[in-house]
Structure 1
Amino acid sequence: MIIKYRIIPIPTIYFNQQLLFLSTIVDTCSSLLAREEVSVNNDSCISNALKISAKMGNLDEGKYIHGNVIKLGMTNVLSLGNQLLQVYVKCSEFVDACKVFDEMCVRNIVTWNTLICGLRYSVERFKTNGYLGFCYFKQMLMESVSPDCITFCGLLRLCVELKGGVWLAKELHCAIVKLGYDQSCFLGATLVDLYGKIGLIGEARCVLDGVLARDLVLWNVMISCYVLNGLGEEAFWLFSLMRLEGFEGDEFTFASLLNSCASLGLYETGRQIQGLVIKVCLNKDVVVESALVDMYAKNEHITDARKAFDAMAFRNVVSWTTIIVGYGRRGDGKQAMELLKRMVREDFVPDELTLASVLSSCGNLSMATETVQVHAYAVKYVFSNSISIGNALINAYSKCGSIAHAYQSFSSIKAPDLFSWTSMIGAYASHGFSKEAIQLFEEMLVNGVKPDSIVFLEVLSACSHGGLFSKGLQYFSLMTNYYQIVPSSEHFACLIDLFGRLGLLNEAYEVLNSMPIESQPDALKAFVGACRIHGDMKLAKWAAEKLFMTDPNDTATYVLMSNLCASDSNWPDAALIWELARERLHNKSPGCSMEIITHGINTLA
């Protein structure tokens, strides 16, 4: 879902002045409280100071004022109690918030709403039991306090995080209708957003249709709901209906539609949306322009994406990340790195996604120096312990051939996930460190990480390249029998290669014929390679012919068959096969290697 706020560039000086002004008010109030110059009957100064403390997230000042409120005997003032509760909720101090709540002699609907709505942030950040919100709701009803729209909004947002939240959401929906709040656009938007996140599109649409006087926010949330669930056609149809009812749309409307064009590959439709954006004078909005850059990049029109980015009047971290990720997705590490440097020069702080994308593209081009530079940025901006950055560093260093640095990055991850283990095991396997790969895999199992088919493929590959026959059979059995993972053609190819390296061609042949799935090119190629090495041309030709029938359009198959005939001194057949392949061979990409030099990369044919 798109965040519902407009990003407006604010001059730094103005922003600092505002912070200084707010801080001065809090300091003045604190000073008055310290000298006890505040009248017991005049609580406006304290109330304002608490509001500012909550807004700024200043917990220390809030606690200081709280202490003076107790000292002055003003704990029974309802408005101050509500403001104190708000301070602790905003600062994510839920234990203290509950304590303040329990000590309040008198509570009103604002008190209950502050606590219930604040629980949502505690659930998201600290995994607090979300059902507490419904416990407080029950207690609120028992104290004869009638809920309002804000109460229901807070409870509905809790449902997203709860098991059984769908049932609770529907119960709340019934209560909303019963109490006559079903015509509220505010509650309608919350319901649509909730139903969209849990995939109940029909229920979301019923809510929209049930509100007679719909506002733009409600339309936007429903469009975002369609986009989130991949229903681009419905989103555009609803946009047309919205315009018929007199709503032109705002930045969030067009950003949602552009996101739909990006995810569904609707390039031409995206260009039409850009025309509408210009028509309604939103072409300078940073949210819309960032979505436009993303749309072009995901539709493989990186030149148009760059033009849109360069034309932006204002940029934020999202804008920079979008264009950098666009280049990273294309594997253009050089441009991604240049943009990252420019981003830092313009005083923008890159986030994890930005750095991970640059690392991925640098790894694809084996840009060792640039990888080290991005690693330095990650350390500078305190992302070095991030799992996503750590995983990206492992892959980047591995592709650059620096296994020591890859393992160092792996070791820096405090709680590596399955992807981290798989990346490091794969790095060892691809560089011939078979024993290290197996040792790390065993360590992963000891740490209680459940392996999947991908990590088993890396381990089997390590066993195959290292000639570790018994270990390979052991892990294949572990995968199929203990973890009940169905082996793919790639797994069988590793097993065939394992037998083939030891000259056990009959066993490899049995594996190939007993595969529960149709023999794929990778398994057949592994068998042909083993037969060539050990001189069994009969089995090699049998597998090559089967390979030709399986994948007749692969030029590598023609080359393989021609080489087989040449190895057997069957020159006429080799020439014939080569002639058949000639028309296809011109489409084959030439082999090349890369050499890193001081000022760039040389491609050597």
Structure 2
Amino acid sequence: MLLQGKPTKIRSLSNIVNVTRTLTPSIQEVERPSSSLDDRFETLPPCELGNSLDDVTYTKLVQSSMHLGCSVHGKLVQSHMVKTGYNPGLFLHNTLLNMYLKCNESDMALQLFDEMAERNVVSWNSLISGYTRLGLYSNAKEIFCKARIANIDINKFTFASMLSICAQTSDLKLGKVVHGLLMSSGIGVAAFLTNPLVAMYSKCGRVDQARVAFDQCDGLDDVSWNSMIAGYVKAGLHDEMLQVLVKMHRYGVRFSSYVLGSVLSACCLNFDRSLVWGKLLHSCSVKLGWDLDVVVGTALLDMYAKIGDLDDAVSTFSVLNDKNVVMYNAMISGLLRGEENSDEYAKKALNLFAEMQRHGLRPSEFTFSTIIKACIACKDFEYGKQIHGLVCKNNLQSDEYIGSMLVEMYSMWSSTDDALSCFDSTCKQDIVIWTSMIVGHAQNGEYERALVLFCKLLSSGLKPDEFTISTMLSACANLAAARSGEQIQSYSIKTGIIESGVVRNSLIYMYAKSGDIDSANQTFKAADKSDVVSWSVMICSTAHHGCAKEALSLFELMISSGIAPNDVAFLGVLTACSHGGLVEEGLRDHGIAPTEKHCACIADLYGRAGRLSDAKTFIMDSGFSHAPIMWRTLLSSCRIHKNTEIGKHVAKRLIELEPQASSSYVLLYNIYNDARMEEAATEIRDLMSNRRIKKEPGLSWIEVGNRVNSFLVGDKCHPQSEKIYAKLDDLLQEIKKIGYVDELEKDEVNHHSEKLAVSFGLIGLAPSAPLRVMKNLRVCRDCHTVIKLISKVEKREIVVRDPIRFHRFRDGSCSCGDYW
């Protein structure tokens, strides 16, 4: 049936006649969407249904259809007029036009408009305002141009609609044209037209022109003042906003909740003004009785929370009646902004969330993302998992903001698989959640998975920002994957991100930690402007590579360049002095308060130089005698200098501080083992076994062919295992010819992970390429000797990085000078 179910599109008035003649529906056959409209039809005499009705009846029927938002009966009325040959007047035509537009049938409205024999300004305005309401701004602009061409005497309603369209589309050029036509029309600029003028100029970024229109207005109303204030708020011109507010008060215009809310929100953006103006406006709102209003109360709460005045925020929150979700959100997010006692504030935020639940309020997406942040702040993993359950219950797990916070939460607690699951369930994976996922893996030491995710990010078409690039360069640094780092550097150059200081510093760090100190130095020198981070990274890198004098020279150059050193730079200097045996230079007073790490370096400086008693005295007097790192440093020095007596006492102290740390037991075991005290060594091993303390396995890795290859001691899992062991056996035979003596004669030592990695590198890399091997534990003396001799017989540069420093082997010697 015609107009039943999905309405048939009627292209013209002639089509209406054809459809009517073909289907000839009666009023009773049409599906009835509303009893009130049906009643109007039922009151008509049966004899009149086949004849024309009068203009008033037709108009009322069309208006009823329009008010109901349903065009079915309106189309039927129009069909009836066509069938009976009734010629509607202009008013009825305009009513039909409005009906189609309000029922979202813009095509039908335009067809009716085109076939109207007579049109007035109301017809044109109806079409323009209808298109504006439907968001069809281009169509509205086109109709306006046609009205101008047709010499229609447009009125203030036309101008108001066009100014609104220009504001919505930020079309300043057309807005100025409309403003010019308005001024030349002689209509006059009353408040009715001033308000859209102010809004148009404000939204187009010309708040100065908005102020001119505001000042020239014949009569301002509340909306005018609010529009002008909103314009200044949007432009960030808070002083001008406050001037208008004062002027408004002097003119006796009553503040509305909207204007007070806007001004209070702006106060949050200007901290200097917030303390004075915010409290002044609070007093004003109390006087006017607006302080308990939802809009004003929420704005006050948000203002106090954002400026850090949590006491006033809590007071404001407590007096508000009928608290809604927005108020709770403002209070919870405000508590999480507190810098001091963040753990305490985070717990208060969790309590507020529980209170919100008890009151039956349904949390929003913002509520969940904020409360997950609170769980992160107070490290409450169990509560966080419960919140995740609520997120799933409310079917919000696909929200990108919630997903990003869940990824951060699970990554923080090393649950990267759960983080990845949250990431996969998020519909809109923007750069923020990708970065959270990549950073989470990198922070948990899963650098290879971070690289895989980064490649997927690039293939998704999203562009990583400087923070993501910096994270990936750090991941490459920890993997010593210089080739992958170079590819990321190329991408940074191509996209221009390389100009960022953060990226350039990460690039220096990547090259240095991958064992390529020369490339790190070149990157540092190529920087247009080096900041304190650049200098500090370069000094520390040079120190860890055993270039003590170069590190000290860089430090002096940094000071002469006017850059004030930070704690990291001083740490680099002390490390350089420690590794280089420069005791006097390291003990020089630089006028800073030493941290725990600084003191550990000084203890190491004494210990490496053989001044074990001085090191012990320094530790006792440093104020950090409770720190395990201090005693671990001294214990390591005791092993170097084979001082069993002091080593035994230091180990006892260290085991008391860290009873479950395997490194203390291993160091003491090695001290006894080196001193041929087999019984004491066995006791330590038994003690570890009884306490169920497991030694961290030695792991070495090397990048070959864009792949990081890892090895454990005696590892035979590699696909080229037979070739690796055959190569290692050949190497051991070759170095024995030039003086190497295998004193231990144990396969376990001969098959240490770093030896396997070096052998694989010699097989897989080109003869001219240097070998860069990374290790999670310190290099043992036998491996150090073997790799020195391999560098000589193979005529290759071999760089080995352990947790303490770099060893650069060339032609049978090491950069550490055997002082390590």
Q: Which stretch shifts more, 87-96 or 437-446?
A: 87-96
Partner secondary structure for residue 701 of structure 2: strand
Kept in 1, the 8 Å contact 2:400–2:430? The answer is: yes
1:252 corresponding residue in structure 2: 366
Whether 1:478 aligns to 2:587 is no
Name the SS of the counterpart of 1:195 in structure 2.
helix
Return the match for 2:709 from 577, 602, 605. 602
The answer to whether residue 670 in structure 2 is matched with residue 556 in structure 1 is no
**Alpha-carbon distance in 1 for matches of 2:334, 2:288:** 26
Deviation digits for residues 464-500 of structure 1, max 9, x if unmatched?
32444454334xx2233xxxx2x12321232233345
- 1:220 maps to 329
Once residues 415 and 100 of structure 1 are traced to their aligned partners in structure 2, the CA distance between those partners, rounded to angstroms, is 47
Question: Is there any run of 5+ residues in structure 2 with no aligned partner, and where?
Answer: 1-132, 713-820
Output the amino acid matched with 1:137.
L
- Assess if the C-alpha contact under 8 Å between 1:254 and 1:288 holds in 2: yes
| Mapping for residues 489-568 of structure 1, pairs under 5 Å | 489-502=596-609, 508=615, 511-518=618-625, 520-530=627-637, 543-544=650-651, 546-548=653-655, 550-568=657-675
* Shift, 1:602, TM fit: 1.5
Which whole-Å deviations, capped at 9, do the CAs of 1:240-286 have from their partners, x for residues lacking one?
Answer: 54455453333333333333344444444444444444444445444
1:193 to 302, 307, 322: 302
Comparing 274-283 with 23-32, greater Cα deviation is found at 23-32
Q: Is structure 2 residue 249 aligned with structure 1 residue 141?
A: yes
Of 696, 699, 709, which residue of structure 2 is paired with 1:592? 699
Matches of 2:707 and 2:233, distance apart in 1: 51
Paired with 2:217 and 2:369, the residues of 1 have a C-alpha distance of 45
CA distance in 2, matches of 1:431, 1:73: 82
**CA spacing shift, 1:157–1:359, aligned 2, 3 Å:** farther
Of residues 102-111 and 143-152 in structure 1, the stretch that sits farther from structure 2 once superposed is 102-111
After superposition, the C-alpha distances for 1:62-92 in whole angstroms (9 at most, x for unaligned) are 6787788889899966666655655665566
The CA distance in 1 between the partners of 2:557 and 2:183, in whole Å, is: 56
Offset, 1:310: 2.5
Give the direction of change, closer, same or farther, for the CA distance of 1:249–1:350 in structure 2 (3 Å limit): same
Q: Distance in 2 between matches of 1:283 and 1:386?
A: 34
Matches within 5 A, 1:255-266: 255-266=369-380
Distance 1:137 1:391, change over 3 A: farther
Supply the AA of the counterpart residue of 1:320.
W
CA distance in 2 between counterparts of 1:555 and 1:97 reads 72
Q: Aligned match of 2:475 in 350, 361, 374?
A: 361
Give the residue type in structure 1 aligned to 2:299: T
- d(CA) in 1 for partners of 2:171, 2:529: 31
Q: Deviations over 1:541-575 (max 9, x none)?
A: 66555545554544333333344445555554444
- Tell me if 1:152 matches 2:266: no
Asked if structure 2 preserves the Cα contact closer than 8 Å seen for 1:555 and 1:584, the reply is no
User: How has the CA–CA distance of structure 1 residues 163 and 599 changed in structure 2, closer, same or farther, with 3 Å as cutoff?
Assistant: same
How far has the Cα of 1:589 moved from its partner?
Answer: 0.9
Note if 1:182 corresponds to 2:296: no
Contact 2:265–2:302 (8 Å) recurs in 1? no
SS of the aligned residue for 2:498 comes to coil
**Greater fraction helix:** 1
CA drift at 1:144: 3.8
Question: What residue is the counterpart of 2:576 in the other structure?
Answer: 462
Partner Cα distance (2:560, 2:187) in 1: 58
SS in 2 for 1:595: strand
2:619/2:625 contact within 8 Å kept: no
Offset at residue 349 of structure 1 (A): 3.3
Residue matched to 1:13: none
Residue in structure 2 matching 1:303, options 410, 417, 420: 417
Q: Deviations over 1:434-472 (max 9, x none)?
A: 445445444554565544433322232233324444543
1:326 to 440, 448, 472: 440
Stretch of structure 1 that moved more, 112-121 or 300-309: 112-121
Alignment partners' CA distance in 1, 2:197 and 2:154:
17
Task: Look up the match of 2:485.
Answer: 371
Structure 1 pair 93/588, CA: closer, same or farther in 2 (3 Å)? farther
1:203 matched to 2:304? The reply is: no
Structure 1 counterpart of 2:542, which letter? Y
- What one-letter code is carried by the residue in structure 2 that aligns with 1:154? S
The equivalent residue for 2:539 is: 425
* Distance (whole Å) between structure 1 residues aligned to residue 385 and residue 394 of structure 2: 15
CA positional deviation for 1:594: 0.7
- C-alpha separation in 2, matches of 1:379 and 1:67: 49
What is the alpha-carbon distance in structure 2 between the residues aligned to residue 105 and residue 408 of structure 1?
68
What's the CA shift string for 1:275-298, capped at 9, x where partnerless? 444444445444444444444444
Taking a change above 3 Å as real, the CA distance of residues 280 and 114 of structure 1, as seen in their structure-2 partners, is same
Q: Say if 1:387 and 1:169 are closer, same or farther in 2 by CA, change over 3 A.
A: farther
- How far has the Cα of 1:182 moved from its partner? 1.7
**What percentage of aligned pairs have identical amino acids?**
31
> 2-side partners of 1:106 and 1:418: how far apart?
59
**Secondary structure class of the residue paired with 1:176:** helix
**Counterpart Cα distance in 1 of 2:540 and 2:387:** 43
Q: Which amino acid aligns with 2:316?
A: V
Q: Give deviations 1:179-199, integer Å, cap 9, x for gaps.
A: 121232222222222222344
- Provide TM-score, normalisation by structure 1: 0.76
SS in 2 for 1:465: helix
1:340 aligns with 2:454: yes
User: Which residue of structure 1 aligns with residue 773 of structure 2?
Assistant: none
Q: How many residues align?
A: 574
Contact 1:26–1:53 (8 Å) recurs in 2: no
Question: Does the aligned pair in 1 maintain the 2:408–2:437 contact within 8 Å?
Answer: yes
Asked whether the 8 Å contact 1:493–1:522 carries over to 2, the reply is yes
Distance change in 2, residues 1:187/1:405 (3 Å): farther
The 1:59–1:263 alpha-carbon spacing in structure 2 relative to 1, beyond 3 Å, is farther
Query: 2:695 aligns to what SS in structure 1?
Result: coil
CA distance in 2, matches of 1:438, 1:96: 60
Larger Rg computed on CA atoms: 2
User: What is the deviation of 1:98?
Assistant: 6.8
State the shift of 1:162 in Å: 1.6
Q: Secondary structure at the match of 2:702?
A: strand
Q: Sort the Cα spacing of 1:599 and 1:106 in 2 relative to 1 into closer, same or farther, 3 A.
A: same
Q: Which runs of 5+ in 1 are unaligned?
A: 1-17
Alignment partners' CA distance in 1, 2:377 and 2:576:
37
Letter in 2 for 1:251: E
With the length of structure 2 as denominator, give the TM-score of the two structures.
0.59
Q: Report the more deviating stretch, 62-71 or 181-190.
A: 62-71
Deviations 1:483-540, CA, capped at 9 Å, x for gaps: xx2x123212322333455556665565345324426443344445556656766655
Q: Does the 8 Å contact 1:460/1:495 carry over to 2? A: yes
CA deviation digits over 1:87-115, x for unaligned, max 9? 66556667777777778787655555455
Asked if 2 retains the 8 angstrom alpha-carbon contact of 1:595 and 1:601, the reply is yes
Say whether 1:396 aligns with 2:510: yes
**Cα shift at 1:41:** 5.8
Are the aligned partners of 1:331 and 1:365 in contact in 2 as well (CA < 8 Å)? Answer: no
- Partners in 1 of 2:566 and 2:673 — Cα distance? 41
2:386 is the alignment partner of 1:386: no
Aligned AA (2:317): L
Partner of 2:280: 171
